[in-house]
């Protein structure tokens, strides 16, 4: 009888923690980090999709859809809108492209359900090319990112390892300099670039995580780390919901408290997607300045008064540490 009661009690606790299936698209008011089973997450069209965080992993699918399917698309000032594909292992695709061997290299990695056509890619590519002569390489990992969220999470390490191996081949083939390499990833893409940097031996000069994904990442050893590059930063805009609130970089910026709702936003979908937009603004104008915080609570309450440090921007040799808070506006350029 006691055993039966324990089973019933355990089932009750599991259901109460999971909570009912949320019925209002985009409403994450029910969500409790680390406990809730369901969360609304934004897809590549910024539409809400209900995610079951306990959905089984399709291991067989990940055997065929993995980082080996990554594609790498080059944009330069000579071809700012018409990409040229660089194929890992085929040096001729480098020499026949507009790749500048002595120029900075910016790597962009989209998030869940994304592709090379994701809105963040033209947004950030045009911003980088507007302020500097560089190579922008967009990573398309749609084969893994296009599956269910749990599958995509489990595919991140392999995708990141392939990105890291591609970068190592690219730098070795072109006799490039790791001090010219800057990796940028949004949401799940932030964890991809972390794994990529780790695979190279933490050699990229700079790694930027844009609202690194939170669900299933808080105790995940494959998450973005402060040691994944020479300088690692994170910009948090939807902490405790779609984004991770933990200060996982060397420098961590929490605009407007780092969580939903961001100014001008009414839901988590908008707040999460604000990170690439804020970063694009900092690339173009470099005028968003954080204040050093004594702790995360200060950052969340916008009460930081310490030394200043610029959020984002395009400077590859940027260096800094700490938690920073700042306020922004509700619309471009924020």
Residues marked active site are found at 187, 211, 272
Q: Which residues contact 194 (CB under 8 A, 6 or more apart)?
A: 160, 185, 207, 209, 222, 223, 224, 225, 228, 232
Q: Can you count the helices (H) and strands (E) in the chain?
A: 9, 13
3-state secondary structure of 64: helix
The residue with tokens 């921007």 is 313
Asked if the peptide bond before residue 278 counts as cis, ω within 30 degrees of 0, the response is no
Angle made by CA atoms 130, 133, 135, in degrees to the nearest 5: 105
- Cα separation, 278 vs 272, whole angstroms: 11
Burial class (CB in 10 A: 0-12, 13-18, 19+), 96: exposed
Of the candidates 88, 69, 111, the one whose C-alpha atom is nearest the C-alpha of residue 166 is 88
Q: Which residue reads 């190579």 in tokens?
A: 135
């Amino acid at each position: 009888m006691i055993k039966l009661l324990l089973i019933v009690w355990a089932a009750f606790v599991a259901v109460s923690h999971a909570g009912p299936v949320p019925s209002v698209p985009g409403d994450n008011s029910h969500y409790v980090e680390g406990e809730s089973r369901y969360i609304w997450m934004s897809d590549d069209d910024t539409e809400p999709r209900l995610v079951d965080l306990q959905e089984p992993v399709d291991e067989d699918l990940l055997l065929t859809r993995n980082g080996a399917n990554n594609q790498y698309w080059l944009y330069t000032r000579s071809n700012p809108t018409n990409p040229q594909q660089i194929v890992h292992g085929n040096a001729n695709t480098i020499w026949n492209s507009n790749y500048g061997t002595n120029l900075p290299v910016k790597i962009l990695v989209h998030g869940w359900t994304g592709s090379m056509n994701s809105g963040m890619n033209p947004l950030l590519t045009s911003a980088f090319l507007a302020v500097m002569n560089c190579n922008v390489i967009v990573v398309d990992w749609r084969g893994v990112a296009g599956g269910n969220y749990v599958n995509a999470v489990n595919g991140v390490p392999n995708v990141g390892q392939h990105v890291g191996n591609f970068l190592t081949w690219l730098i070795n083939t072109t006799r490039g300099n790791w001090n010219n390499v800057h990796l940028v990833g949004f949401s799940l893409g932030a964890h991809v670039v972390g794994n990529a940097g780790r695979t190279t031996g933490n050699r990229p000069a700079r790694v930027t995580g844009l609202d690194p994904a939170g669900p299933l990442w808080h105790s995940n050893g494959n998450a973005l780390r402060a040691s994944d590059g020479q300088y690692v930063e994170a910009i948090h805009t939807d902490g405790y919901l779609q984004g991770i609130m933990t200060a996982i970089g060397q420098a961590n910026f929490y605009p407007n408290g780092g969580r939903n709702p961001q100014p001008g936003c009414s839901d988590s979908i908008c707040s999460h997607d604000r990170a690439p937009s804020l970063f694009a603004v900092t690339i173009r104008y470099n005028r968003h300045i954080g204040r050093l915080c004594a702790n995360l609570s200060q950052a969340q309450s916008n009460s930081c008064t310490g030394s200043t440090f610029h959020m984002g921007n395009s400077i590859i040799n940027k260096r800094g540490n700490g938690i920073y808070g700042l306020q922004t506006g509700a619309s471009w350029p924020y």
